Structure 1
Amino acid sequence: MGVKVIEVTPAQIEELREKFNSKYATTPPAAPFHPVDIDRIRNDHVWLQRFLEMYDLDMEASMNKLWETCTWRESYGANDLDESKLNQEYLKEGSVFIHSSDVDGKPLLVFRVRLHSKSKSLDELIRIVIYWVERTQREKHMTQLTIFFDMAGTGLATLDLDFVKRIVETFKMYYPNALNYILVFELAWVLNAAFKVIKALLPPKAVEILKMISKKDIGQYISKDNCLASWGGSDNYEFSFVAETKQVVASKPVASSDDDQLGLGGDKKVHFAKIAPMVLKESNIGDMHTPTEGMLQLEQKEFVNFNQKNAEATVNFKCISQKPVTYKIQTTSPEKFRVRPRCGIISPNEKAEISIWLKSEYKLSEDSKDKFLVMAMIVPGTCGGADVAELWRNKCTGGPEIEQHRLVCRFENSASKCAGKASTATLDCAKGGKPDLQDQVKALSRRVKVGNFVQYLTLLLVLLLYAAVGFLFFEHYYPVGPGSCGKQSGAFCPNKRK
């Protein structure tokens, strides 16, 4: 569901991006913003879109809040927050954790309020909340969350209004439009007054997604399979902390205003030099990707399918190796696309999703020149997430230990049109979803012929109609037969003059 927002256009996102870049270049902050946040602004659209949605397309308000948020994130260290910097007792007791998802597929940020104690440090608890939010948004690319307050067994002794206020303020100030629902489960009647106070703190948009639920109606927001047994569901999950599998992030400040190479240490354009230019046909489509999959199993075998409306695409793959695998994404047209994440490490049986956006000022090539290369290799030794960029920078991508998957860019409508059809000509189903010009001319010619035929047929029918009306008129006033004058007046009918 999420809050109701005004639709944001790519032009408005670009305007906010340009405002930020201009201010960052002319009046930079005292401490440079974190490279990850710079990357989100310059090479992504989701974060900027969230600010514009939250502040109803008010460009100045969105810009000011974006700047304030970046300042806070840098001073707080939000991007660098990991489990080693948290209170281990609070982290592992399971009073706050991420598990399962709601009916919209949004992860649940669960608060088991009965495990809380007012004697705990609020600062340490908020750090854990921020850690889970940041970790989830790294793993699932800026996904929205649903807050689930599990109030079962909670009394006045464990309900800490100050803690709840801090949670509300944190999301309100620094995570715009990041919530899908706020669910309050099994709230005891004695706590109703306390939650009215909390409700008053929420912005109007957040009040829309606040829902008081019980076991009777929880199914409206979380499916039974995703509900814990204590919520009346079939999920017997017991919390046990699992450390994060790190993705690669940028590791140095960025000064450039349009650097698309963040996080890769200068990722370069790939030319697919070993592949001769070709027109995609069924006879050679198999040459465009690795025929055997030993490390990664891609859902998309030949194409990257872009959505016609928002020019977005995803590449999904799974690690089928018995060892951790590192991957890297390259493209023939780095100036056209934004890609997140560009590289990383995934463990056996783990899945990864790569998000790709076609920049608004560019179009897909019509001759299949826009391609992506997904490369993979076994993680050597004790290489960690922070070492992946350096590992790929020094690696020869044509080596025998590198698995490669080549994908051609196209729009989704071409996928539906070409599915299951054999290609007998040089018509390329990957041409950005646009039909061949010759086919367009033929189709237009057929429509003109049909239109002409309909016009001629209509004219013929009109003439026949006029003839029929004329015949009936004549028969009525000038009937054929002796002694019959029909409705003629006496001046014209000899029989009536008698």
Structure 2
Amino acid sequence: MEPSSELIQELRTKFFQKLENDGAPDPGGFHPADLARAKNSDDWLRRFLMHHECNVNEALQMLWECVEWRKKFGTNEITENNIRMDYVNEGSLFVHNRDKDGSNLLIFKSKKHVKGQKDMDELKRVVVYWFERLERLDNGKPISLFFDMSDTGMSNMDMEFIKYLIGLFSQYYPYFLSYIIIFDMPWILNAAFKIIKTWLPAKAVQKIKFLNKTTLKEYVEPDQALRCWGGNDDYVFTFVPEQLALPVDRADDSRKKVHFADGSPMTESFPGGFSEGQLSKDSSQSGNSSLSIVPPDVINFANQGAELTGTISLTNTAETIISYKIKTTSPEKFRVRPSTGTLAPGRSVSINVVLQPGYQLPALSRDKFLIMSLPVESQDMTPQEVTDLWKQTNGKTLEQHRLRCSVGGATGDGQLRNGTAFISQPHLDTDKQIAQILSQVRQLNENHQSLHADLRRTQTLQWLSMFLIAMVGFVIIYTTGDSDPNADKSSCLLP
């Protein structure tokens, strides 16, 4: 059902009314690019309505959650310059050619992906890069997700990654899925894809197509199919940078990301700007810091109720009032409260850092925090005044201190948790069920092979037994036939 212009305008009005009444969940608000899109793009809002069959309330909820996720994930900032290009260049996920309906094919070559070998957070950023690039390419026209399962084994079957791929369509990219094509799937993975079907609504399950070299031509023309699929295309993946029609303004990126990895300059660019020469040395190295920071080097994250949380304590050891600001290399990952403020001499503040839901723990050790401070004249500054202060740092001397991250907490069952949702028990149960099913499939396969070998041995023994029986019968017949050679002669003498 095609949404009317009245429904589109109703969705737009309700979204901005909700934003005015409730405000954005993030103190920084939604991303300006997404707000502009909601205000000006009928095509984008139409997709939310079509995704929910013109139910305005359901479309509004999805739109709100989508815009919130995009801000937290940093979707609008993802480019070829800040994703793992080594993941891209290996060619496990790429875009090439179209299906019979004209939808772009997002191809996942499963045999090139080995579960657990990549950082899942970085892999998710690569996936979102391709989704965003495809949206720009065809203005949001639906795409087909093509799973090339040729030569796939158990080690290539990453259920978490597949669930994330499918979840993007159902949660954040409305009306963007044409087909899910499963090509040349080994029978041993049937159980896994039965589980995958449960992650999809009923209408989406109908989009799954299990194809082989014979049936692929029903959905992909031979000229659009790779040679390894039985088609005519000799294409070998090589990454081609995206050609944007208009330059993307990244002027504000420096305010959203802090780049202070080990060995890099401890600088940050604000509109007013300040150079490395205007910064004091790292307070961890200078002996005259105005801030006492606990812990001094590493934020240790541990379980606190339903969250994975770290704590930073700041104490003003100077004789003047200071203002502080905390930045992180991954602002989409963490909730920092309070991230800015003022401290009178001798006063302290405790800052909570919470890992957001959906982010993986192994990558946490690479994240860093930067604590900056500068002297101010008054302690009674409003939050807006503090924000404006940190926008105008030109010519001011700042102190800074770098902190790394580590994980020290675990659940009762030894599983580290992840963000406010941690790794929820249903998710753990699902993973356990998947592992059990795959283990049972492997056992069934081994039992099948064992039974097949036993059957071959039994057949061999049967043939051998029949041969021996035949030989024994032949010997018996031969010996009994020659046991009384005079029997026929004596019978002839009878009258």
TM-score by length of 2: 0.48
The answer to which structure has the higher helix fraction is 2
Instruction: Using structure 1 for the length normalisation, give the TM-score.
Output: 0.48
